[in-house]
Structure 1
Amino acid sequence: MTAEVIRISGRQGDLDRIKKAAEIVEAGGLVAFPTETVYGVACRVKGDSLSRLDHVKGRDTNKHYTLHVGQIEEYRKYVPRVGIRVEKLIGQAWPGPLTLVFELSSAELAAQRMRLDGEALQTLYKNDSIGIRCPDHPVASLLLRLVNLPVVAPSANRSGEPPAANADQVLAQVGDDVDMILDGGPCKYGKSSTVAAVGKHGIELLREGVYSQHDLQRMSEVTFLFVCTGNTCRSPMAEGLFRKYLAEKIGCGIDELESRGYKVLSAGTMNMAGAPASAESITACALKGVDLTGHISQHLTRSLIDASDFVFGMTRSHCEQVVFLSPDAERKCSLLARNGEVPDPIGQPQEYFNSCADIIEAAVNARVSELVI
């Protein structure tokens, strides 16, 4: 029997139509629906429904299906913990044309076994990983939120055939095998989502789609900014020491940090741009294996703050200046040292600079240890 085609166009009654589609999926049926990339086929994560989906797609039963979620935060039910770069990428790219394959540790998988039923676990997790997508389309988002079960949604086409980018193409390919087609018009992109693996080895492009490798790198780059007064003493020391300990945590060289998706910067609230690090700061950091000889000071600006993900001030007044320049930065700005301010060593003897470097090193170590990479 040919599927019922339901036009969704923003008219009265669309909510009820999508509710009906959600009920079909919950009951074990298959519903084709639009996303921003291509049309998908919604299927509940139950053995009988998945067997039918395999038949419709003409694909191997061992093929990995991707979980689809209607709201970003839903992914946390299935992935206990993600690194800061992945968190940034999700915030930039979801909802949107990106499928993420999350790699889980054995401990994380064990925790999921306690939470999910065996069928869902077996279906969604393959090779210690789970693929998740959060589409950017109002019909897809609402449908997925209304189904009270996990939903997978491969593209609405036979295996080996081009994906369907409108309801007519869905009807031509799988119209006799699905129960309903929600016609939301042509898809925005008309091409498949980008697929990337995320885990302990970073972010790896598996399939280019709407987003390129360059796009993923740009959207996932994490920037740390350290702020003091002149950007010649405290913040350069913090920047240099942070680079050292972050590189050690990641397991790369300091010069590899940017290619790994991390930027570490510093700036000063006084306009002293172009000055080198003080001789005493250079000496204090050299004792700790950090080279500040190439440092050139820069002035703190709103654009620099807005481009940063974490901002650390040496004193409360530095944090206040950050928030004054960019009020939205309050949520991401804090003192570097949790137990107080870092004193200004300017004009003091070398021993004072060394002690200041010790305070900064301890604070940097604490901050780096908190990061989930």
Structure 2
Amino acid sequence: MTQTINLDEINDETDALRVAVSQLEAGKVVVVPVEVGVLVLALPSQLGAASRLTEIAKAVPEAIPVVAMAHRSVIDDYADNLSTLVYKLSRRCWPGPVALRVGGGQPEGFSADWSGDAREWALNASGRVFAIPRSNFSNTLLKRLSTPALGLVIPQTELERLDAGWADLIFSSREEVYEEGLTVVDVDGQNYQLERAGAVTKLSFSRLTGEVYVFVCTGNTCRSPMAEALFRNMLAQQMQCADDELLDRGYTVISAGLAAYPGSPASPEAVALLKEQGIDMSSHESRPVTEELLFHSDHIITMTQNHRDAILNAFPELAGKTRLLSDSGKDVSDPIGAGVEEYEICRNEIEGYLRLLLDQQSST
């Protein structure tokens, strides 16, 4: 008999999570809400788990087999020779309504030790499909498991097709869902194609694969905003497009400050200087540097060595994409409070370094 637990009626989910884990470890099928419908789970270590999910999938043609994980780092244990594009997309898409098909056409990593049909779950000649749900309960449950789970993503509207007793434990919720469903992307090296359109459109996904430049200073009101605005203008000129078309061309250019207070405008001197070049900075609002921003970026460009050191002291793994704006190692001094002439010197210095940067990027 199927047991149903309404998560909306629970204040503390601790007991519910414990029950879910024990049911899965006992070889049962557990259903949890996710942002694209429901996720039907079973453990690969349990004999017959994949066969049972396969029978469910036969009744719901729209069901999407996935391997459900709690964190993107786990993928390294279950797929070999992953490209830099896979890692970029995993940072930007997970957790969320996107699944990635990666790896080869054979069981790889620890999945080669799975038993029976589990070894072939969500696998075809192009690789295996992996997903990380954003929904809090589902993600927390996956974190409590010792292994990724075999999963089926099913639209809520299709559940009525299933017979009574198709699952052992169902967690329900009024959580809002993306009606378009799960987006599945096949990643092959540095190339990708949408295997299934869903909540993330083709245009939105192309933006996710683009290059993200982040210019960093201290307060994000003088140096880094000027660098952001100047570089965006240079890119647009090089690509012969409008500034607001850069995102669709695969480029995101932003700035942030290590000690920035959110929402502050750019300094009046910086706004006036760039206005002379036809660049409008009047709408700039400062933002602080965050871990998420740094890890989602492809190029972190700092105004001083101290800025770079501060970032790398906190996140040494970002060394490969964090650099000083100046190739010569010279700091760009902060002009704040020093007068218009110092701002002009700073602007000219930044502009010169940016032209070198753009030339370097164009030649790679």
Give the TM-score taking structure 2 as reference length.
0.60
Which position in structure 2 is the counterpart of 1:175? Answer: 164
2:203 to 214, 223, 227: 214
Written as runs of structure 1 = structure 2, the 5 A alignment for 1:1-373 is 2-9=1-8, 11-12=10-11, 14-46=13-45, 48-58=48-58, 65-79=65-79, 81-83=82-84, 87=88, 89-102=89-102, 104=103, 113=108, 115-119=110-114, 122-123=120-121, 125-156=123-154, 163-165=155-157, 170=159, 173-185=162-174, 187-224=176-213, 261-262=250-251, 272-273=273-274, 309=297, 310-313=299-302, 316=305, 334-336=323-325, 340-341=329-330, 364=360
Structure-1 separation of matches of 2:249 and 2:87: 12
Structure-1 separation of matches of 2:210 and 2:25: 39
How much does 1:208 deviate? 1.8
Distance 1:24-1:275 versus aligned 2 partners, 3 A rule: same
Structure-2 separation of matches of 1:303 and 1:200: 37
C-alpha distance after superposition, 1:80-119 (max 9, x if no partner): 64426852x44443322112222x3x7xx99x84544333
Contact 2:67 2:121 in 1 (8 A): no
Structure-1 separation of matches of 2:108 and 2:153: 28
More moved, 77-86 vs 7-16:
77-86
Segments of 5+ residues of structure 1 without an aligned counterpart are: 157-162, 245-256, 277-295, 324-329, 344-355
SS of alignment partner, residue 141 of structure 2: helix
Matched residue type, 1:216: F
C-alpha distance after superposition, 1:29-53 (max 9, x if no partner): 1112211111121121245111122
Q: Which protein is bigger by CA-based radius of gyration?
A: 1
Distance 1:335-1:177 versus aligned 2 partners, 3 A rule: same
How much does 1:263 deviate? 5.5
Tell me the matched-pair count.
297
* Percent of aligned pairs sharing the same letter: 17
Distance 1:70-1:226 versus aligned 2 partners, 3 A rule: closer
How much does 1:303 deviate? 5.8
Matched residue type, 1:18: L
SS of alignment partner, residue 57 of structure 1: helix
* C-alpha RMSD of the superposition: 5.1
Structure-1 separation of matches of 2:363 and 2:283: 25
SS of alignment partner, residue 143 of structure 1: helix
Distance 1:210-1:339 versus aligned 2 partners, 3 A rule: same
Distance 1:212-1:316 versus aligned 2 partners, 3 A rule: same
How much does 1:7 deviate? 2.1
Give the TM-score taking structure 1 as reference length.
0.58
